[in-house]
Amino acid sequence: MSLRFTMHRGMGGPHEFRVPLRSNDATDPVRVLTVRSTWGP
């Protein structure tokens, strides 16, 4: 898996992204990957 996040000018600061991951697991078919980051000005 590869993820790329980009921010536009003026959107610095802390951010949280949630990425749903689907699988064939019948008891837990979707897990959420949380990515937290802080972007500079």
The pTM of the full predicted model, rounded to 2 decimals, is 0.67
Query: Would you say residue 18 lies in a domain?
Result: yes
Per-residue pLDDT of the chain (41 residues; tens, 9 = 90+): 888 988 889 999 999 999 999 999 999 999 999 999 999 87
pLDDT at residue 25, as a whole number = 95
Half-sphere exposure of 32 (CA within 13 A, CB side): 5
Q: Cβ(32)–Cβ(19) under 8 Å? A: yes
Provide the domain limits for residue 17. 13-41
Query: Would you say residue 6 lies in a domain?
Result: no
Query: Would you say residue 5 lies in a domain?
Result: no
The whole-angstrom separation of Cα 25 and Cα 19 is 17
How many domains, the chain? 1
Query: Would you say residue 38 lies in a domain?
Result: yes
pLDDT at residue 1, as a whole number = 85
pLDDT at residue 32, as a whole number = 97
Query: Would you say residue 2 lies in a domain?
Result: no
